[in-house]
Amino acid sequence: MTEHEKIVLFAKALQDENRLQIIEMLQSGEKCACKLLEHLQIEQSTLSHHMKILCQSGLIAWKKVGKWMHYSIHPEEAKKLLHLLQSLTNVKDSSLNQLETTISNSSCQCDHPAHKGTAI
Amino acid sequence: MTEHEKIVLFAKALQDENRLQIIEMLQSGEKCACKLLEHLQIEQSTLSHHMKILCQSGLIAWKKVGKWMHYSIHPEEAKKLLHLLQSLTNVKDSSLNQLETTISNSSCQCDHPAHKGTAI
DNA sequence: TTTATATATTGACATTCATCGATATGTTTG
DNA sequence: CAAACATATCGATGAATGTCAATATATAAA
């Protein structure tokens, strides 16, 4: 899987409001599907679908315990995915800490003469 | 706009392979649409559509220069969006730097007696 | 002012996605 | 083993998305 494919899977996992709620619920630690379902206005089959997408993105880890399925945020994978997004968007770790401005090349590289030396 | 809505817009912006390529092209600095188009296998109207989605997410800044449209990564917004994702996924800035394991509460909070004391 | 160029908008179409109900699978308990 | 429970899979459906061609808008050039 290429880096772009990983990012696409991650992005697709995050594009649904219900899945964001699920991730938020997992912030406080591992939960089973039935517990998650209590707080969502969706049917069980839909939750199962969402968990599949979240797990396939790598962000969420799962573990079968008896007949229950336990889900949790996968910290290492979450970090890897965020690193991919940092690289993609040119955001540096240090600037993330300090909310500094990332320095980027601001000259237009368009061939058109009219574009030379422009900056946003 | 809620934080979740911001994340959803950001995630939708990142879920397309062509848009990831566009972001990557902007890593080296501001570019105009015609320049971006040269390196993509899509029609002009499709690029315009993609740029709209990228700009609406906040990640990409735009500036009109004559009849050209210049695009660039918006560093401050990129940082804000990454921060939102960090908070969502419980990833700490320091752990992002050092790739340490984020400590999370690993006890299941399901009501079921059988779940007490389990851990992944 | 007419023409050329860069970008945006619109409408159509195929594909993907979220959702549900029904059903299947797997596990525990009686 | 049978019943109950938790979760997964399947099929259908409506909504959202990516794409293009055609057209509109805006700016620059002749």
Render pLDDT for A48-58 as a digit per residue (tens, 0 to 9): 999 999 999 99
Query: Which structure tokens are listed for A4?
Result: 């772009």
Query: Which structure tokens are listed for B93?
Result: 């800035």
Other Cβ atoms less than 10 A from the Cβ of A28: the count is 13
Give the per-residue pLDDT at A80.
96
Helix (H, G, I), strand (E, B) or coil at B59: coil
Residue range A70-76: average pLDDT? 97
> How far is A34 from B71, CA to CA, in rounded Å?
46
**Which tops the pLDDT comparison, A97 or B73?**
B73
Name the stretches of chain B with pLDDT < 70.
94-120
Residue A111 scores a pLDDT above 50: no
- Tell me if chain B has a CB within 8 Å of the CB of A53: no
- Tell me if chain A has a CB within 8 Å of the CB of B116: no
CA-to-C1' span, A24 to C15 (A): 30
Helix (H, G, I), strand (E, B) or coil at B119: coil
Could you read off the pLDDT of A21-38 as tens digits, one per residue?
999 999 999 999 999 999
Residue range A46-67: average pLDDT? 97
For residue A92, give the chain B residue with the closest CA. Answer: B79
CA-to-C1' span, A58 to D14 (A): 29
CA-to-CA dists, residue B118 to A27, A61, B14, B106, B109, angstroms: 17, 15, 36, 8, 9
Contact call for B75 and A101, based on CB within 8 A? yes
Closest CA to A22 of A40, A42, A49: A40
> How far is B119 from B97, CA to CA, in rounded Å?
27
Contact call for B75 and A91, based on CB within 8 A? yes
For residue A100, give the chain B residue with the closest CA. Answer: B76
Give the per-residue pLDDT at B106.
41
Mutation target vs B (from A108, A109, A111, A112; most B CBs, 10 A cutoff): A108
Q: Which residues of chain B lie closer than 8 angstroms to A86, CB-CB?
A: 82, 96
Give the per-residue pLDDT at A10.
98
Percent of chain A with pLDDT over 70: 78
Query: Which structure tokens are listed for A108?
Result: 């237009």
| The one-letter amino acid at B32 | C
pTM for this model (two decimals): 0.85
CA-to-C1' span, B49 to C13 (A): 16
CB A72 within 8 A of CB B105: no
